[in-house]
């Protein structure tokens, strides 16, 4: 179970962030930089992305609760957004390169924008880490585990960006496009599963609701005790 969750989180975050698809964009926006500066840009972009995603892991659900947004609603909305992003990957044109002239004219720190956000820590990645660290479903250990997996994925992303020139020569536009479309299909399946799981009603009634119902009906204490057998699981009032 422990290993299965690690693997699932790793695959989920890999197809969401999709490091290989970042290679053309990274080379375009850093075209004017020397190799040492380009390496520093890659490392800085990944570090900034890590700060953004960890921040959303810590305060993401607190923010949702403050806004009165229930996690199932957010999960369905997030699944729909991920589905839209995945379809865009699958149906997009083969040439995913950013215009190099526009990249040269880019002002400001490209490590922050557009590399850290929205390329690495974009809406899809933010949605994914919030869903994978739901406070009502996962304990502290599981959330720490997901955070560690996320950092591993970001380390892989950093390694890919550092080797961007070599990967671009090996894969070319066609290779990067094929990988992007395959990951898009996987992400679409994960998005649909997220929506389905969030919209699926509980098969069994909540034990707490059953017990309170027996009490309201004036049932004998022995029946109330039987109705409340076992440890109550997580449930939400309907």
Tens digit of pLDDT for each residue in 116-137? Answer: 998 999 888 998 999 899 887 8
What's this model's pTM, rounded to 2 decimal places? Answer: 0.72
Dump pLDDT digits (tens) for 59-118: 988 888 888 888 788 888 888 888 888 888 888 754 444 444 444 444 458 999 899 998
Please give the C-alpha separations between residue 199 and each of 37, 41, 64, in angstroms, as whole numbers. Answer: 47, 41, 18
Residues 6+ apart with CB under 8 A from 77: none
Tokens of 180: 């992007």
Residue 138: closest CA among 195, 39, 57, 22: 57
Q: What is d(CA 53, CA 29) in angstroms, rounded to the nearest whole number? A: 22
Query: With contact defined as beta carbons under 8 Å apart, do 31 and 146 qualify?
Result: no
Q: Which residue has the higher pLDDT, 71 or 148?
A: 148
């Amino acid at each position: 179970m422990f290993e299965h969750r690690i693997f699932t989180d790793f695959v989920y975050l890999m197809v969401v962030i999709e490091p290989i698809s970042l290679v053309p964009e990274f080379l375009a926006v850093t075209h004017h930089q020397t190799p040492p500066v380009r390496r520093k840009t890659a490392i800085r972009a990944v570090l900034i992305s890590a700060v953004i995603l960890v921040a959303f892991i810590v305060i993401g659900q607190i923010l949702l609760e403050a806004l009165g947004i229930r996690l199932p609603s957010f999960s369905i909305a997030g699944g729909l957004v991920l589905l839209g992003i995945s379809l865009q990957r699958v149906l997009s044109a083969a040439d995913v390169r950013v215009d190099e002239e526009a990249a040269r004219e880019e002002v400001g720190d490209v490590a922050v924008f557009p590399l850290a956000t929205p390329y690495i820590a974009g809406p899809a990645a933010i949605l994914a880490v919030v869903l994978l660290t739901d406070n009502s479903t996962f304990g502290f250990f599981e959330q720490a585990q997901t955070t560690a997996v996320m950092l591993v994925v970001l380390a892989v992303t950093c390694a890919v960006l550092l080797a961007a020139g070599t990967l671009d020569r090996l894969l070319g536009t066609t290779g990067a496009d094929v990988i992007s479309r395959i990951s898009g299909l996987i992400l679409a399946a994960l998005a649909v599963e997220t929506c389905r799981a969030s919209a699926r009603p509980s098969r069994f009634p909540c034990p707490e609701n059953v017990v309170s119902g027996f009490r309201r009906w004036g049932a004998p204490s022995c029946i109330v005790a039987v109705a409340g057998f076992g440890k109550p699981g997580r449930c939400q009032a309907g």
